[in-house]
């Protein structure tokens, strides 16, 4: 198992209604930086994504933001990060976030966050990568999704040999210890296939 050095964080471009979400983003960004793990995120300075990036920077971490050109104005690109990559579209953003990262962590968010999470779960399910995927279920945010996964299992749509591989953290402070234990299994051939198809 190779150690996790770079972590992609998916999260909302808003804050949500529960203050615990923002607090979790701050804790996660700080913890990643203190652990020497680099952050890859969506590049914006708004909502939880801006919070996690600023927290990582404040703790001395390295941050890479990857943002589509058409979202620069809406998501107010964070200028203080060490590396910003402006891409032409969402597909390129997601591909580069995948390529740059050893693991994926999902904080609360909306449809975009869910789509990014499910894509990584799908590729892992199909054996296209072996990188850890962590859901941070602050205030049980992801409980309905986890229940849906169980519903799918019960009806035979998530079945043996094609099960989902993910970890669930109840609070952000649990994430770094989980990633240190999990590590990741580099598989260049599988990752090349993902890059070609994404």
Mean per-residue pLDDT, 109-137: 95
| pLDDT value, residue 192 | 45
E strand map for 27-75:
38-41, 63-68
170 sits in which H/E element: none
Closest CA to 140 of 28, 20, 37, 22: 20
pTM above 0.75, yes or no: yes
Closest CA to 124 of 163, 151, 169: 163
What is the band of 71 on the pLDDT scale with cuts at 50, 70, 90? confident
Residue range 166-196, pLDDT digits in tens: 999 999 999 999 999 997 776 555 444 444 4
- CA-based angle 184:103:61, to the nearest 5? 115
Residue 173 CA to residue 16 CA, distance in Å, equals: 20
| pLDDT value, residue 186 | 67
Please determine, for residue 101, whether its predicted confidence score (pLDDT) is greater than 70. Answer: yes
Please determine, for residue 142, whether its predicted confidence score (pLDDT) is greater than 50. Answer: yes
Please determine, for residue 84, whether its predicted confidence score (pLDDT) is greater than 60. Answer: yes
DSSP 4: P
- 73, 47 contact by CB (below 8 A): no
Residue 173 CA to residue 111 CA, distance in Å, equals: 25
Structural domains of the chain ordered from first start: 6-197 (3.40.50.450)
DSSP 186: -
What is the band of 77 on the pLDDT scale with cuts at 50, 70, 90? confident
E strand map for the chain:
6-10, 38-41, 63-68, 83-87, 103-106, 133-136, 167-169
């Amino acid at each position: 198992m190779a150690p996790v050095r770079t972590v992609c964080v998916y999260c909302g471009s808003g804050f949500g209604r529960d203050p615990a979400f923002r607090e979790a983003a701050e804790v996660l960004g700080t913890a990643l930086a203190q652990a020497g793990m680099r952050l890859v995120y969506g590049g914006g300075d708004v909502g939880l994504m801006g919070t996690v990036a600023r927290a990582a920077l404040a703790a001395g971490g390295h941050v890479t933001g990857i943002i589509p050109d058409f979202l620069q104005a809406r998501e107010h690109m964070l200028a203080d990060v060490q590396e910003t990559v402006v891409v032409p579209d969402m597909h390129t953003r997601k591909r580069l976030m995948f390529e740059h990262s050893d693991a994926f962590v999902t904080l609360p968010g909306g449809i975009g966050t869910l789509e990014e999470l499910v894509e990584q779960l799908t590729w892992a399910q199909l054996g296209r990568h072996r990188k850890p995927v962590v859901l941070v279920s602050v205030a049980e945010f992801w409980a309905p999704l986890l229940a849906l996964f169980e519903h799918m299992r019960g009806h035979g749509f998530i079945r043996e040999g094609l099960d989902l591989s993910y970890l669930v953290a109840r609070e952000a402070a649990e994430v770094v210890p989980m990633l240190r234990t999990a590590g990741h299994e580099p598989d260049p051939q599988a990752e090349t296939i993902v890059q070609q198809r994404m």
